[in-house]
Amino acid sequence: MGDSCSSTIDAWIAFDSDAANFNRDLYFIRPDGSQLTRLTTDASVEQEPYFAPDGSFRSFTSDRDGSPQIYVMNLATRAVTQVTHRQEGADNSSFSADSQLIAFHSGPSVYTIRPDGSQEALAATGLDNFNAYFGPRFIGSDQLVFDRNNEIDAVNVDGTNFRNVIGNWTITIKTPTVSPQGSEIAYTAQCGVGPNPAPGREIWTASATVSSQVCSGQRVTPVGDSFSNERPAWGPNNLFAYQRVDSAANIGRIALISRVRNSTPCVLTGPSEDARNPNWSALGLKLEKPTN
């Protein structure tokens, strides 16, 4: 485990890690760093976990059938079901607020699908596989927000009302996450371009309802932090879970930080394993350790 974190929040944080002999599996942990539990033990790669808000399922990406696809795990039974069967593969899944839809990225596009694999629908398509739309997250249950490497956009799940959220710029702008109220987003960017660039990527917040420029909202992670702070997950009480990556060693650790200005990060996972892609459970979700 990493540094001790103090929290009384009755929630879980899911993430993926290579802690078990460098095999990437899914884990969950309490915000105070307790009750670390490994959830998958397959030889395949399991990553990018995402809790359904109603506590019924967790979606994740796995290559257990040869290519990355989206799967769901029933949290009561631990039964796993494949959701997508796309030739290009699929990843970056997330649930809608009502737990009825999963959004995901595949090829240049983002899609929605039911957790049972039915009613797959195209939401938006980028210019090509490099300028694709990545990391879709729901605003409520009827809109998606996603990045295109150097901008953030939103669209209704039926493909209408496309709009810009963070304007296109010359720096990388990635992985939006949505506040519990749906009115704001957090994202990753490397700000301070020019003579005094930031040494690592930072986490920023901005409005989800109007368009704004990158690095013009509120910075969450510390000024001058040399780590690459990525993939924020907006939790309760304005806490963020995120991956704090040592770029030289290419090792990520799951950290927490408050949105309160001048807060310092608290690290949940250890320095020897690579841990990434955190996501919060619903408050009060009961999770038991898997039984063999």
Q: How confident is the model at residue 247 (pLDDT cuts 50, 70, 90)?
A: confident
3-state helix, strand, coil split of the chain in percent (to 5) is: 0, 45, 55
In order of their start, the domains of the chain are 13-280 (2.120.10.30)
Comparing C-alpha atoms, which of 240, 236, 235, 237 is closest to residue 254? 240
HEC-encoded secondary structure of 164-220: EEECCCCCCEEEEEECCCCCEEEEEECCCCCCCCCCCCEEEEEECCCCECCCCCEEC
Query: 134-190: per-residue pLDDT in tens?
Result: 999 999 999 999 999 999 999 999 999 999 999 999 899 999 999 999 999 999 998
Please give the average per-residue pLDDT across 77-86, as a whole number.
96
What phi and psi, each to the nearest 5 degrees, are found at residue 236? -70, 160
Q: What pLDDT is attached to residue 3?
A: 47
- The two structure tokens encoding residue 158: 């039926």
What are the CA-CA distances from residue 40 to residues 79, 99, 182, 288, 290 (Å)?
A: 11, 22, 31, 13, 9
With beta carbons less than 8 A apart as the criterion, state whether 276 and 15 touch.
Answer: yes
Comparing C-alpha atoms, which of 242, 245, 273, 269 is closest to residue 256? 242
- 17 SS3 class: strand
Q: What pLDDT is attached to residue 1?
A: 35
Q: CA 60, CA 49: separation in Å to the nearest integer?
A: 4
Global pTM reads: 0.94
Q: What pLDDT is attached to residue 269?
A: 95
With beta carbons less than 8 A apart as the criterion, state whether 129 and 165 touch.
Answer: no
Query: 187-218: per-residue pLDDT in tens?
Result: 999 886 555 555 689 999 999 999 999 999 99
